[in-house]
Structure 1
Amino acid sequence: MDWLLNTILQPSTIQSIIIISAVSAIGLQLGKLKLFNVSLGITFVFFIGILVGHLNLDINEDMLHFAQNFGLIIFVYALGLQVGPGFFSSLKKGGLRLNSLAFAVVVIGILLTLIFSHFSNVSLPNMVGLLTGAVTNTPALGAAQQALRQVAPNDTKSISDMALACAVAYPLGVVGVILAIALMRTWFGPKDNSGKIKEKKDSDTYVGEFHVTNPALFGKTIREIMKHTSKRFVISRIWRDGKVTIPTSECVLNQNDHLLIISIKSDVESIKVLFGEQENVDWNKEDIDWNHIDNSQLVSRRIIVTRGKVNGVKLGTLKLRNIYGINITRINRAGIDLLPSPHLSLQIGDRITVVGEAASINNVAKILGDEVKRLKEPNLIAIFIGIAFGLLLGALPFQFPGMNFPIKLGIAGGPIIVGILMGAFGPRFHLTTYTTQSANLMMRQLGLVVYLACLGIDAGGHFFETVLQPEGLLWVGLGFGLTVIPVIIVGVLAMKVLHINYAKSVGMLCGSMANPIALSYVDSTVEGDEPSVAYATVYPVSMFIRIISTQLLLLFFL
């Protein structure tokens, strides 16, 4: 057993990798646990790292530092590639107002950080650490630590304390957004006629068969029918005289037509009233036998948007349904299922479920791109080139008047900017920068897990003695204020002053705080997918601003 103890206890490259891997594996497993339906998820790796760091194991510091930085670089660059295709299109029209509000959340947080630091005598580096924990943004912490190394390269204690502050504020950062949204829900949430909060019935996607028996619909086109209902649904197929067809907006409905409709569960009763009857068939079952009703040449296929020309284009302007006789039933964006609508703007990477004849679907695939087959072997050249250029950009000094030292974007700011630019404009220069969602997620998760594990191990040595001091309680209170105050202020501004509806406003707030757990809470209480769309609209810009702003905050005010 001596060999095992020596391998684990003696500092070496192998020992460092074993400990980082063990911390990552244990943290990921425990991250699946939920308390009051809330889980820390991947961030549990950070806290397991703190526990291991508290044991004061003798670990190779150079190896730990390298793994931490390399993990952060991989994460932010892959994040830039992911958000790049939709980054600039999210700034257009309606997205501009939502992103402006998300920017306000960031600015208010920065102002409160400066104010709290001045009146509480908590150092600015520690306040920035509290800010990154309050907004649950550990990549921003990494960027801030890099900036602090530029200003005070020998102040290793302040760099470690910044991570401690982040860890102290993080748990309430997760819960605080949910509490703030719950409070605003009682103020601004949709209410019924009695003034009570309307509970969400069910917004899960629902597939059902409906029988047209309403005489008011006989001889009417689908376009005419849709004008007279506020419910959103998609008529995927029509069974008429034993034949299955794909309807267009000009298709006329007849008595006894059978319709396959995709909607949300909460709208089923309204759709039933509209068409007349609902068949007692559960089309949501995975073991349903489609062959007994679908004996035509119709097929269902997922097409991925990879063509730059349709990035940001509204679905209705393409007129795919009328030109090619196909039906778009669902759109999956970053793991979120959205019901298609004419006003929904497409983004590169969207996975579109299309139903129709094989030849028609092939034509639609040519328009949307669907070139994922070329990505069976990822273009690693573009990834490594992008990382290299990102690090060069991060090391480039920018001299500002009145400052004694130049500003650098660092290992977090440089790669994310290059990643965004590569994701947005790479195809124009014949660079294949788009990767499948699973490949990009793998890169991001791997980089972030390694970074969090190393960050926790490095910060764990003095964590508990810091938290148990009176100053630790003050940190908890300040961090909670940095979480809740900006969310409530901008939430009230959005809903009370700008009259943006509740669902869209809270989705924007979740995106501005990069808090998917809060989004899950919102989705469980609000009908429709407006919160998810708003979240996806502001998330790219908010994440970018968070990472850059923490660096600038230290470089300008420290």
Structure 2
Amino acid sequence: MEWLHELIFGTGVAHAIFILALVISIGILLGKIKIFGISLGTTWILFVGIFFGHLGLGIDENVLHFLKEFGLILFIYSIGMQVGPSFFSSFKQGGITLNLLASAIVFLGVIIAYVLHLITGVPIPTMVGILSGAVTNTPGLGAAQQTYYDMTHQSDPSIAMGYAVAYPLGVVGIILTLIILRYLFRINFEKENKELDNFNASKLTEARMFSLQVLNPAIFGKTIQEIKQFINREFVISRVLHADTETLEIPRPDTRLYENDKVLVVSNLKNIDIIEAFIGKRIDMDKSDWDKLDSQLVSRRIVITKPQINGKSIGQLQLRTLYGVNITRVNRAGVDLVADSRLQLQLGDRVTVVGSEAAIANVEQLLGNSLKRLREPNLVSIFIGIALGVLLGSIPFWIPGIPQPVKLGLAGGPLIVAILLSKFGPNFKLVTYTTMSANLMLREIGIAIFLACVGLGAGEGFVETVINGGYKWIGYGVIITMVPLLIVGIIGRKACKLNYFTLMGLISGSMTDPPALSYSNATAGNDVPAVSYATVYPLVMFLRVITAQLMILLFL
């Protein structure tokens, strides 16, 4: 039985993999348990790792450090790829207010953590760990640990200990804050839903179809291209029914409109009134009515799967001129976008094409429409991105007043590169598309390995630390969790007049906390919390990683 003893208590590769697999699998199983409807999810891996470490079932220090950093890179990079496409667009329109409020929550938490450090004397590394646990942000924990190691060339287990102690009540504290705000403002769900029906900003940008009759003499005889330049709004005229000949056609840029012609227009809700005012009155004629007029025209969704199309604009493809078809909508990540000629297409986009059966078959060959290709992972772009991220994270930046050079590290570097590549990669013909399931698999493997290694490294001495004063960290964590949320929550409701459902998503997103989002969605009964969560998530995730590093760099 010596082999079994070596496997469990040894120091080899088999021992490391065996312990790591046990910690992760047990942690995932425990993560499925819910108490009062709340689950800590994959964070159980951390606690199981701490338990194994406490029992002395550790892993070789060098192996542990490598696995922890590699897991962190996979996790951070996949998050960057996920949030990248929406990172810059999240600052548009109402997103500015939500992101400012979410940023205020982040910086208030940092300020409170620093004040608690000054009052209590808890070391900065430990306090950063408590902060990361209190705001339930694992990437912040990873960034703090990696930055501390870069500065001191040694690990500080108290960072992970502070995180582990503060995390459970961090999850509870977020949901408790949502409940307090609900009763503080005497929220009436029926009233909140009515306000959403009157104005839902997220729906204003989605593509809609409507029919108009041409009645404006100023555009009689003008081409569609001239009309679009005159109105200067994003819209597509999908079909034209000429009044004089009663013929239906798929319009080209040089198609002219005349009095009483009927047009099928695709645009977003915020532009409908303006387009109607310039072209003519709205008529009761939906898409099915148009389909009945000409059975030879069909509408079909085609998935872009050819890498050559990645990054090209709709105008560059010249589908109207070459094939006589019209792209009316582009579905990206579940959202319908107006098919403006300047819109750049990406791998995985689903375009709605209108035309004859034969023409659409030709367009299918051009665009790909092969789901099999999408299932093939683009490993080249992933590892190029990781290499560039590590390179960027290793570059030292000298800042006046800071004795050590500042580095973005193995957390900040890959995060920034992933965001930039996922957003701008198509411009350079770089295929960055990964399926949601592939991205999720990469992310979950990374976070599982990272949390297991953190737990195993912090396990020795954890119980002793908690008994000898570490229990106070729970109270510090509750303060860091709830005070910023209550302050910004009151400001958001009173000063910014935010809908309560939007506020729930803002608070959950500012803590990057899926359990809180799940509670919010279930309570609201709609997807409004998820929309505001997604709006602030990219910026908040970036700020959490950067502020955790800066606290170590500035105050250590």
User: Which residue in the other structure is 1:403 paired with?
Assistant: 402
Q: In structure 1, what is the Cα distance between the partners aligned to 2:464 and 2:13?
A: 29
Unmatched 5+ stretches in structure 2: 197-208, 213-263, 267-281, 290-294, 315-324
User: 1:325, CA displacement in angstroms?
Assistant: 10
Q: What are the within-5 Å matches in structure 2 for residues 337-416 of structure 1?
A: 373-416=372-415
Q: TM-score, normalised by structure 1?
A: 0.72
| Greater radius of gyration (CA) | 2
User: Which residue in the other structure is 1:237 paired with?
Assistant: none
User: Which residue in the other structure is 1:476 paired with?
Assistant: 474
User: Which residue in the other structure is 2:284 paired with?
Assistant: 252
Say if 2:304 and 2:348, in contact at 8 Å, map to a contact too: yes
Q: In structure 2, what is the Cα distance between the partners aligned to 1:368 and 1:540?
A: 30
User: 1:355, CA displacement in angstroms?
Assistant: 11
Query: Residue type of the partner of 1:377?
Result: E
Q: In structure 2, what is the Cα distance between the partners aligned to 1:374 and 1:545?
A: 35
Question: Residues 309 and 83 of structure 1: is their aligned pair in 2 closer, same or farther, counting only changes over 3 Å?
Answer: farther
Query: Residue type of the partner of 1:439?
Result: A
Whether 1:441 and 2:473 are equivalent positions in the alignment is: no
Q: What are the within-5 Å matches in structure 2 for residues 279-358 of structure 1?
A: 333=333
Say if 2:131 and 2:480, in contact at 8 Å, map to a contact too: yes
Say if 1:507 and 1:532, in contact at 8 Å, map to a contact too: yes
Report Cα offsets for 1:414-466 as digits up to 9, x if no partner: 11111111111111111111211111111111111000111111111112222
Query: Residue type of the partner of 1:466?
Result: T
Query: Residue type of the partner of 1:168?
Result: V
Question: Residues 488 and 63 of structure 1: is their aligned pair in 2 closer, same or farther, counting only changes over 3 Å?
Answer: same
Say if 1:189 and 1:502, in contact at 8 Å, map to a contact too: no
Kindly tell me the number of residue pairs found equivalent between the two proteins. Answer: 455
User: 1:383, CA displacement in angstroms?
Assistant: 1.5
Say if 1:186 and 1:197, in contact at 8 Å, map to a contact too: no
User: 1:123, CA displacement in angstroms?
Assistant: 1.3
Question: Residues 368 and 119 of structure 1: is their aligned pair in 2 closer, same or farther, counting only changes over 3 Å?
Answer: farther
Q: What are the within-5 Å matches in structure 2 for residues 106-255 of structure 1?
A: 106-154=106-154, 156=155, 159-188=156-185, 190-191=187-188, 252=284
Question: Residues 350 and 542 of structure 1: is their aligned pair in 2 closer, same or farther, counting only changes over 3 Å?
Answer: farther
User: Which residue in the other structure is 1:277 paired with?
Assistant: none
Secondary structure of the structure 1 residue equivalent to 2:532: helix
Secondary structure of the structure 2 residue equivalent to 1:41: coil
User: 1:197, CA displacement in angstroms?
Assistant: 11
User: Which residue in the other structure is 2:507 paired with?
Assistant: 509
Q: In structure 2, what is the Cα distance between the partners aligned to 1:349 and 1:475?
A: 47
Query: Residue type of the partner of 1:404?
Result: P
Question: Residues 408 and 474 of structure 1: is their aligned pair in 2 closer, same or farther, counting only changes over 3 Å?
Answer: same
Query: Residue type of the partner of 1:542?
Result: V
Choose 164-173 or 496-505, whichever is displaced more.
Answer: 496-505
Q: In structure 1, what is the Cα distance between the partners aligned to 2:370 and 2:133?
A: 39
Choose 547-556 or 352-361, whichever is displaced more.
Answer: 352-361
Say if 1:130 and 1:162, in contact at 8 Å, map to a contact too: yes
Question: Residues 341 and 88 of structure 1: is their aligned pair in 2 closer, same or farther, counting only changes over 3 Å?
Answer: closer
Question: Residues 413 and 362 of structure 1: is their aligned pair in 2 closer, same or farther, counting only changes over 3 Å?
Answer: farther
Say if 1:45 and 1:453, in contact at 8 Å, map to a contact too: yes
Question: Residues 372 and 547 of structure 1: is their aligned pair in 2 closer, same or farther, counting only changes over 3 Å?
Answer: farther
Secondary structure of the structure 1 residue equivalent to 2:57: coil
Identity value in percent: 44
User: 1:374, CA displacement in angstroms?
Assistant: 3.8
Q: In structure 2, what is the Cα distance between the partners aligned to 1:251 and 1:309?
A: 35
Question: Residues 528 and 408 of structure 1: is their aligned pair in 2 closer, same or farther, counting only changes over 3 Å?
Answer: same
Say if 2:26 and 2:48, in contact at 8 Å, map to a contact too: yes
Whether 1:10 and 2:10 are equivalent positions in the alignment is: yes
Q: In structure 1, what is the Cα distance between the partners aligned to 2:310 and 2:442?
A: 23
Question: Residues 251 and 9 of structure 1: is their aligned pair in 2 closer, same or farther, counting only changes over 3 Å?
Answer: farther
Question: Residues 484 and 393 of structure 1: is their aligned pair in 2 closer, same or farther, counting only changes over 3 Å?
Answer: same
Q: In structure 2, what is the Cα distance between the partners aligned to 1:454 and 1:58?
A: 9
Q: In structure 1, what is the Cα distance between the partners aligned to 2:531 and 2:345?
A: 12
Q: In structure 1, what is the Cα distance between the partners aligned to 2:329 and 2:426?
A: 28
Q: In structure 1, what is the Cα distance between the partners aligned to 2:465 and 2:33?
A: 26
Q: What are the within-5 Å matches in structure 2 for residues 95-114 of structure 1?
A: 95-114=95-114
Q: In structure 1, what is the Cα distance between the partners aligned to 2:517 and 2:149?
A: 34
Say if 1:303 and 1:370, in contact at 8 Å, map to a contact too: yes
Report Cα offsets for 1:222-278 as digits up to 9, x if no partner: 789xxxxxxxxxxxxxxxxxxxxxx98967379xxx99xxxxxxxxxxxxxxxxxxx
Query: Residue type of the partner of 1:176?
Result: G
Root mean square deviation, CA, Å: 3.8
Q: What are the within-5 Å matches in structure 2 for residues 266-277 of structure 1?
A: none
User: Which residue in the other structure is 1:554 paired with?
Assistant: 552
Q: TM-score, normalised by structure 2?
A: 0.72
User: 1:153, CA displacement in angstroms?
Assistant: 2.6
User: 1:500, CA displacement in angstroms?
Assistant: 1.9
Question: Residues 528 and 406 of structure 1: is their aligned pair in 2 closer, same or farther, counting only changes over 3 Å?
Answer: same
Q: In structure 1, what is the Cα distance between the partners aligned to 2:514 and 2:313?
A: 27
Q: In structure 2, what is the Cα distance between the partners aligned to 1:517 and 1:459?
A: 25
Report Cα offsets for 1:155-188 as digits up to 9, x if no partner: x4xx101100000000011111111011111233
Say if 1:86 and 1:348, in contact at 8 Å, map to a contact too: no
Q: In structure 2, what is the Cα distance between the partners aligned to 1:404 and 1:529?
A: 48
Q: In structure 2, what is the Cα distance between the partners aligned to 1:68 and 1:552?
A: 21
User: Which residue in the other structure is 1:536 paired with?
Assistant: 534
User: 1:348, CA displacement in angstroms?
Assistant: 6.6
User: 1:397, CA displacement in angstroms?
Assistant: 0.6
Q: In structure 1, what is the Cα distance between the partners aligned to 2:427 and 2:329?
A: 30
User: Which residue in the other structure is 1:518 paired with?
Assistant: 516
Unmatched 5+ stretches in structure 1: 201-220, 225-246, 260-294, 312-322
